[in-house]
Structure 1
Amino acid sequence: MHVRLVDTVARDSFHEMFNAALLSMCLTAFERVEYVCHPSQQACIRRVLERHAPATDLKRVRFRPTAVVRREGPVGWVCRYALGALVNLWQLLTLPRGEQLIYTTNNPLGLWALNLLCRLRPRRVVVVCHGELELLAQCHPWWRASGWFGALLRRTFARTTLAPGLKCCVLGRSILRNLTPYVAPKNRAAFFSIDHPYFFSEAPAAPAPHAQLRVGTVGQLTPAKGLHRIVELAREIPVPLVVVGRTYGFDGHAACRNVRFVAGADNGFIPRERYDSEAAALDYLVFAYDPDGYRLTASGALFDALNLCRPVITLRNDYFDDVLRLRAGYVVDTVNDMAALVRRLAAAWPENPDYSLFCENLLRLRAEFAVETVASRFREALRTLYPESKKAER
């Protein structure tokens, strides 16, 4: 059996790691893969697979190009989703009976039409959902694009009967659980979850012995990702806090005397070699995301922590609780609790009897979320949803 992957949203490196992992998983479940995406995304996926999974048999993949609107911003996303919805419908119309169709991204603007066509032309269709699910819980004005998208998602999930062959995949058990209030009981069987797959590199060595505790963040830091909480935390701890990544929505770098911004006050590009070395030098990675956030979306930065094999200090939220299913650091309730913990760790450094246990559990979690492990569960989910798909396995 063949599968057709369709991505009408991503350009360049957008979602490249997840899309490459999904392609790799599909190659374990299907004889051949047809991948419809923008040429720039194809190039990025090839580079990711060459770097992380060189044994991937790309000879069994047929890439086909499609147009994706370049423009960003609200107008750009409306145009991107509008064009993408038309391409998505065409891909469903042209799909041979008996083949599997997987959309790598949920298109809020076109989901209702896709569901209607699925009812008129029954096919096996999986839609992978990402951060757009957060729109279900947000109340944006009707005149904003995000308001339209959220209203369309709520209507499709809660008021429309989903076609029997249409299934929605979410990337985490906690996300599936938190979706319940937004999905009509008649539609809940159409939703299933898998863990977020990740290509892990070799676990880096522990930092060389040093006299002072090192804590910091990795990846982009924005107000939505707790930037101001990080600044608040830095004022209350006795050690410098290192921000390994660029910041957005913030111009107070000079006033943060206890924060070292690796990107500098000008928020410049960080070369990969320096990014890796700065991140690997940290003892703990700090996450101060909104405790009420990440209920309906996954966090890539948390998987960066697993990749680095560094224990975390994080505020409690549903998604982090789900991923950190083994003790891999400290989970606290408030920034004040976080500051008190860092002060205690800094005072006792380098003594910490739990640190080696955290590192051992991080290695176990890496195996849990590795592409190979998630691929096995993905195949099992497809067998359950579509019993005839058992014939598709090689």
Structure 2
Amino acid sequence: MSKQLFYIEPFMRGNQHAPFNAAMLQVLQCVYPEAAVTLWCSPDHLLALKEQSPLSAQITHKPLNVPALQTANKIRWFYKHAAECWILTKLLIQAHSDAVDLVYFAFLSPPAQWLLSCYRVFFFKKCNIIVQLHGLELLKSSAQNKAVDRLYAWLLRNAFSRKRSGLYYIVLERRARSYLQEKQLIPPAHLLYIPHPYLFPQPVARQKSANVVTFVHLGVARLSKGSQHFFELAKQFKEEIAQRKLIFQVVGHLLPEMAPYVNSYVVYPKKGEMLPLAEYQEALASADYALFCYGTDSYELTGSGALMDAIAAHKTILGLRNPSFSEIFAIVAQPPGVLFDTLEEMEQYIRSIIHLKTPSQTDREVAFKMLQEHFGVANVAEELRIQLKRVLC
């Protein structure tokens, strides 16, 4: 009898995490090629997944009512968490009733993770459950952080303290695995690591003016990503921008918190919503450089989907040196770009690009190909197969 798998996305809608989920679905199917997979997600998320890649005939979709998130609406935010916890409860009961072999949660917020850990003390003990961990920067929350972030950190720590057999966690960063083990939050027997899976299409052919250099900020512009520095950098090149020597462009959307920092030197969408996939890919294809201003002490425990997009599109990466980028650059002998210790160093390098010829990309093309093999479905599936054999034998 073939295995039954539940793939559950109870929180994200539309394009949110669509590149990851589309790739991870294929990873699980490589690991369990004969399994019948039930995909539980919102209808708009299903459409976003199909934009990334056609779904296998072995995947059956079951719709979920996942509430949309409304910025700065506390009632809506509470309702979204409540809905997620209800989905969690309902589908665990369903999985127990159907004797599902493996339940994979593509994302769970801290409240839902805490509830799951409580359930495992008394219920659903025979069901193998895997929780995909994202955004673990919350664990470093201090007294200076917002009260809600401190609450989320407490919920995560408390959830991890209730470890029960059959409950496992996956991280996508080696340093996140080391942090969780060093802090004794999750023991090695319950913690898996895999590279961030990604579907790598053929890069779209560039169609742009040869005399204009384009720098893009990928994804959501927000303070936690240092996006305000992207606007500050653009201002330093206002003369060159006016002369059409270069373009600074946000390929994504801006959160309201960015309002005090926007200026006329950056091209950005005026609508406060995610770009359609086709528009996003077209803008990325026309770029020369993907520029990242993440802080040097940020993204230590969280990967960057935007960085994966840059690797997919073979765009030279310019960024501040931080744990996330350093880990990825260390995978290959020839780097896929340049990392800087300060924004001033980055500014000087950009000036050298404008006034000198762009450096040869030959070595970087080799780096992009190697990174795509590392994060490709086949390699990630093999890594996951080994890890699951260790814990589910």
Give the structure-2-normalised TM-score. 0.84
Q: How does 1:219-230 map to 2 (within 5 A)?
A: 219-230=219-230
Counterparts of 1:303 and 1:339, CA distance in 2: 23
Counterparts of 2:112 and 2:163, CA distance in 1: 14
Structure 2 counterpart of 1:339, from 337, 347, 359: 347
Counterparts of 2:67 and 2:344, CA distance in 1: 44
**Displacement after TM superposition at 1:271 (Å):** 6.7
* Alignment-derived partner of residue 232 in structure 1: 232
Query: Alpha carbons of 1:98 and 1:384: their partners in 2 closer, same or farther (altered >3 Å)?
Result: farther
* Alignment-derived partner of residue 149 in structure 2: 146
**Displacement after TM superposition at 1:21 (Å):** 1.8
**Displacement after TM superposition at 1:119 (Å):** 4.0
| Alignment check: 8 A CA contact 1:167 1:190 kept | yes
Counterparts of 2:69 and 2:354, CA distance in 1: 47
| Alignment check: 8 A CA contact 2:15 2:274 kept | no
Gaps in structure 1 of 5+ consecutive residues: 51-55, 388-394
Per-residue CA distance 1:104-163 (angstroms, 9 max, x = gap): 1123113233224334323211001112x2221123789944332221112222xx2400
Structure 2 counterpart of 1:12, from 11, 14, 18: 14
**Displacement after TM superposition at 1:365 (Å):** 0.9
Q: How does 1:27-176 map to 2 (within 5 A)?
A: 27-30=29-32, 31-50=35-54, 56-58=55-57, 60-72=58-70, 73-94=73-94, 95=96, 96-97=98-99, 99-120=101-122, 121-131=125-135, 133-139=136-142, 144-157=147-160, 160-176=161-177
* Alignment-derived partner of residue 284 in structure 1: 289
Q: What is the SS of the residue equivalent to 2:201?
A: coil
Query: Alpha carbons of 1:254 and 1:23: their partners in 2 closer, same or farther (altered >3 Å)?
Result: closer
| Alignment check: 8 A CA contact 2:14 2:44 kept | yes
Gaps in structure 2 of 5+ consecutive residues: none
Counterparts of 1:313 and 1:143, CA distance in 2: 30
Q: What is the SS of the residue equivalent to 2:13?
A: coil
Aligned length: 372
Percent same amino acid among aligned pairs?
22
| Alignment check: 8 A CA contact 1:313 1:331 kept | yes
Query: Alpha carbons of 1:213 and 1:46: their partners in 2 closer, same or farther (altered >3 Å)?
Result: closer
Counterparts of 1:149 and 1:231, CA distance in 2: 31
| Alignment check: 8 A CA contact 1:213 1:349 kept | no
**Displacement after TM superposition at 1:90 (Å):** 3.5
Counterparts of 2:386 and 2:314, CA distance in 1: 29
| Alignment check: 8 A CA contact 2:195 2:375 kept | yes
Q: Over aligned residue pairs, what C-alpha RMSD do you find?
A: 2.9
Counterparts of 2:273 and 2:91, CA distance in 1: 41
* Alignment-derived partner of residue 369 in structure 1: 375
Residue 261 of structure 1 aligns with an amino acid whose one-letter code is V
Query: Alpha carbons of 1:165 and 1:220: their partners in 2 closer, same or farther (altered >3 Å)?
Result: same
Per-residue CA distance 1:269-303 (angstroms, 9 max, x = gap): 86766654443233221111111111121211101
Give the structure-1-normalised TM-score. 0.83
**Displacement after TM superposition at 1:372 (Å):** 2.8
Counterparts of 1:268 and 1:71, CA distance in 2: 11
Q: How does 1:146-295 map to 2 (within 5 A)?
A: 146-157=149-160, 160-184=161-185, 187-205=187-205, 210-211=210-211, 213-237=213-237, 240-245=246-251, 246-248=253-255, 249-251=257-259, 255-256=263-264, 259-263=265-269, 275-295=280-300
Residue 370 of structure 2 aligns with an amino acid whose one-letter code is R
